[in-house]
Amino acid sequence: MTLLAFLVAIVILVAVHELGHFSVARWCGVKVLRFSVGFGPRLWGWTSATTGTEFVVGMLPLGGYVQMLDEREGPVEPNERAQAFNAQPLRNKVAIVLAGPVANLILAVALYSWVNWTGIEMAQAVVAKPPQGSVMATAGFTGGERILQAGFEGESLEDVVSFDGFRWWLARGAIEQRNVQVEFVSTQRQTPQAALLQLKGVDASSADAKLFQHIGASAPFMQARIGMVAPGEAAQQAQLQSGDLVLRVDAVDIVDAAQLHAMIRASGRNGVPPAQRWLVERNGVRLTVLVEPRSVQEKPPAVNRLRAMFADWFGTPAGPDTAVPTVGRIGAGIAAPPEAAVVRYGSLDSVAQAVARTWETSALSLRVLGQIVTLRASLDNLSGPISIADYAGKSAAMGLTPFLLFLALMSVSLGVLNLLPLPILDGGHLMYYLWEALSGKPVSQPWTERLQKFGLVILLMMMSVAIVNDVTRLLR
C-alpha cells in the first residue's frame, strides 16, 4: 500500500507539474521534443504523429522534465528557429517556466475544493486536558472546552469547524510568532468565553508533534472509556469491561483519555505500581474497582538495537545506551473515538476555502523555508522520500479523502519548492529572466553553467539532509 500510494502520488504530482510547462510551451508555439515522467531508462512511451513529441515514462519516478527545442542544447533547423525556446520573447519564457508551479497550485485548489464540496468527517474542535505548563494550560484550559472561533490578536475572529482547523491557527501563530485569541464554551459554562494563547516566544524551530505538545493541543478530546480488554491483564483482573467510563483514579478526577493514559504510564516508572481505586460508570451505574497496573519496560529504541547488533558483529563495546523507561500498563484500550462531524461547503464556498487554504499553506511553507535558510528553524523540518512515502501509505489506508488531502498538501509543497530562487529550479530560471529584464541581456552561458552546478550542489545537500532526517525518524 505504501509503495503503491507513493508511486501514484509522485506520478500525479510530477505529471501535473510538467503538463503545466508543456501546455504553455505549446500555446506559445514552442516545439516540445520530449515529455517525461521519471528519469533514467525508458519503461514505456509513444511519439505523437502530429507534434513529434515523445511521451516517456522513466524508471526513476522522482521527477520529470519537458525537453524543448533550444539552440543552446543542439542544432536547430532554420525553418524551426521560431519554435525554439531560446528564441521566444521574455514574457513567453517567464510564462512557460512559471506554468509548472502554478499547475501544482491549481491542482491543490481543485483537490481542496472537491473535498470541501463532497465533505469530510473530522474531529470537532473540543480540546483535551493540556499538559501542565503548556500554553493552553497557562491560559486556563482544563479539557473539554469547545473552540468556537479563533483569530490573531487584534484581528477579527473566524469560525472553527474542526480540531484540525484549530491546530492550523496554532501552527500559524507559533511559526509567525503571533498570539491567537479564541472564543470557547466549557462543560461547566455554556456562555462563550474568551482566552488569549501566548504563542509569541514559543520555540517553533521544529514544527512537529513536540510543538503542539508544548502548546497543549496534541489531540482532540476523547473520553476515558475502556476499549478492548486483553485476557489475563490487569484490566481483566480488575473486572473492567469494554465501555466503562473512568471518572476518577484515587482522588484525581479524570477529564479525558490522554490524562488517564499518562497516569497509568507514570505509575510504573518507580518500580511496582501501587494499586489504584478507580471510579467507573457502567450502564449508568457507578462502581469502584481496584486496579493494579503492572510495570513493563518499553521496547528499546531502534538506535539501541542497531548499536547492539553492530557491537555483536564486530566484537566492540556497544557504548552508552539511551535509557529505556519502565511504564505502567493495564492491558486495555483507553479512549473513545473523538466527537466528529461532517464538514461540507457549498460549491462557491468550497472553492473560496480551497483558494484561501492553498494561499495560507504556500505562505506558511515559504516562511518556514526562509527560517531554515536564516537558521531560525531547524533542518529537522525537511522531509525526504521516505517520510513522503510513509505519509502517502498512511493517508491512502485511511481512505480516498485523506489521500486527496495529502496530494493537495504535497502539490502545494512542490509548487512552492520549485519557486525558490535556486538556479536548478524554476525559481532560479525566473531569476535569470529578471536579470535579463533589468540588464537587457541574458545571463551568459558560462555563468549559467556555473550557477546550475551551484544549484545542483545545494539541492543535493538539501536532499541529503532530508534523507538523514527520514532515517533518524525511523530509528527513533
Residues sharing a CB contact under 8 Å with residue 147, sequence separation 6 or more, in sequence order: 125, 126, 127, 160, 166, 182, 183, 184
Do the Cβ atoms of 206 and 174 come closer than 8 Å?
Answer: no
Partnered with residue 282 across adjacent β-strands are 285
For residue 95, give the amino acid letter. A
CA-wise closest residue to 56 among 69, 67, 41, 42: 42
Cell of residue 295, nine digits: 510495570
Which of the following is catalytic: 18, 155, 176, 298?
A: 18
For residue 42, give the amino acid letter. R
- Mind spelling out the 3-state secondary structure of 432-475? HHHHHHHHCCCCCHHHHHHHHHHHHHHHHHHHHHHHHHHHHHHH
Cell of residue 275, nine digits: 494499586
Do the Cβ atoms of 412 and 365 come closer than 8 Å?
Answer: yes
CA-wise closest residue to 99 among 35, 217, 19: 19
CA distance 60 to 253: 56
CA distance 358 to 175: 17
Partnered with residue 56 across adjacent β-strands are 36, 45
CA-wise closest residue to 24 among 97, 75, 81, 79: 97
CA dihedral 157, 162, 165, 171 (to 10 degrees): 110
Cell of residue 110, nine digits: 481543485
* C-alpha dihedral sign at 369, 370, 372, 377: negative
Place of cell 500500500: 1
Cell of residue 258, nine digits: 490522554
Q: Cα 274 vs. chain centroid, distance in angstroms? A: 40
> Over the Cα atoms of the chain, what is R_g?
28
Helix (H, G, I), strand (E, B) or coil at 350: helix
CA-wise closest residue to 369 among 308, 316, 416, 325: 416
**Residue 339 annotated in active site:** no
Partnered with residue 67 across adjacent β-strands are 34
CA dihedral 234, 236, 239, 244 (to 10 degrees): 100
- How far are the Cα atoms of 205, 307, 380, 467 from residue 471, in angstroms, in the given order? 20, 15, 11, 6
Active site residues: 18
